[in-house]
Amino acid sequence: MASRGFCRELYSCIFDYSTPRIALIKSRKVGVMNRLIQLGILAYVIGWVFVWEKGYQEFDTVVSSVTSKVKGVAVTNTSALGTRIWDVADYVIPPQEENAFFVMTNLIITQNQTQGHCPDLPDQSTICNSSHDCIPGFISTHSFGVQTGQCVAYNETVKSCEVYAWCPVENDTELPEPAFLKEAENFTVLIKNNIWFPKFNFSKRNILPNVTTSYLKTCLYDRMHNPFCPIFRLGSIVSEAGESFRDMAIQGGVMGIQIRWDCDLDKKFSKCVPRYSFRRLDSRELDHNVSPGYNFRSAKYYKNINDVESRTLMKVYGIRFDILVFGTATVLCDVIVFQFFKKRYYYREKKFKHVEDYDELSGNEEHGSNP
């Protein structure tokens, strides 16, 4: 019985023919609703997919590399250091970073430190009246060394717990104002940015083809007059972000240099150009200004003729510039180019390469080589 049912279904599937029946409903209400739905779908496809989202284009995101070179010289005159020249080897720390550079703007320097015993910097955890207030071997979170258990004079009026540390300990309670290297405002940086859109094998750099060596030696970026000059004055970067360089230089901070490449590769090569913008990246809340700015410590070590090691400790404040590169490239989809453009046959010829069958071509060559 089951086999008969299967054969009947198979016979019906092969030899029977069915066609859909269409009912024409003569109703204005249904007809208008149908057309409105069709118009809505059409508006969505044209308005959203094609016009707004540019669904007829292919997209690719940018692959980027960045290098930078800072230039500038400053002169300082202080009681600790005397008159001194500062060049790029002194204030750019480290010499190279990935997609970033740091410029020192302020400094607390402690010279001729050696390892030994000395009073710790007075604070709530180190001020003492007698040795009973000091714990041998104790290390405070903010201490510069290990407590010896002795209470010693820090100055004529204050006593603090003695520590085994690099002595004398650093005193960072007061920052130089104005900033130690306030002249850094006039330093400049050359930014070289190379980009690549791998899907379209398109590459370019921010030093545009029309830029000459003589122009590069004299130009400075200006949003209105020199928007494609890759050399930037540090003070202008900060001011364009709505900040004061003199204020920021005291405690340091983090700035973002944004380079955007939005390229329509259906247009001329020269139309793909970088756009620069600037903003401050580190959080700065006026009503909650705890631990502001950007700083770190660095030291230079020495040994005297008696083989005694000493060092110069530097608490460095400055501005870190992060270079952020964004970008997309778009190309008109092949289906439109090859089917609807007037020059579609020309585009097809350039895109496709016709190659003869290898086996057949090899056979013809062999026959041709025989006498």
What DSSP character marks residue 45? I
Supply the pLDDT for residue 338. Answer: 52
**Structure tokens given for 185:** 């405002």
Query: How far out from the chain centre does Cα 138 lie?
Result: 42
How far apart CA 349 and CA 356 sit, in angstroms, is 15
Q: What is the CA radius of gyration of the chain?
A: 36
What are 152-200's pLDDT values in tens digits? 999 999 999 999 999 999 999 889 999 999 999 999 999 999 999 898 8
User: Strand, coil or helix: what is 266?
Assistant: coil
Q: How far apart are the first and last CA of the chain?
A: 74
Supply the pLDDT for residue 186. Answer: 96
Cβ atoms of residues 50 and 190 within 8 Å:
no
Cβ atoms of residues 332 and 56 within 8 Å:
yes
Supply the pLDDT for residue 135. Answer: 93
Supply the pLDDT for residue 371. Answer: 44
**Structure tokens given for 72:** 């500038």
Cβ atoms of residues 76 and 86 within 8 Å:
yes
Supply the pLDDT for residue 264. Answer: 84
**Binding site residues for ATP, as ranges?**
69-71, 188, 295-297, 315
Q: Cis ω on the peptide bond leading into residue 94 (within 30° of 0)? A: yes
How far apart CA 160 and CA 133 sit, in angstroms, is 9
Q: Which residues of the chain are modeled with pLDDT < 70?
A: 1-7, 10-26, 30, 44-58, 284-288, 332-371
Cβ atoms of residues 103 and 319 within 8 Å:
yes
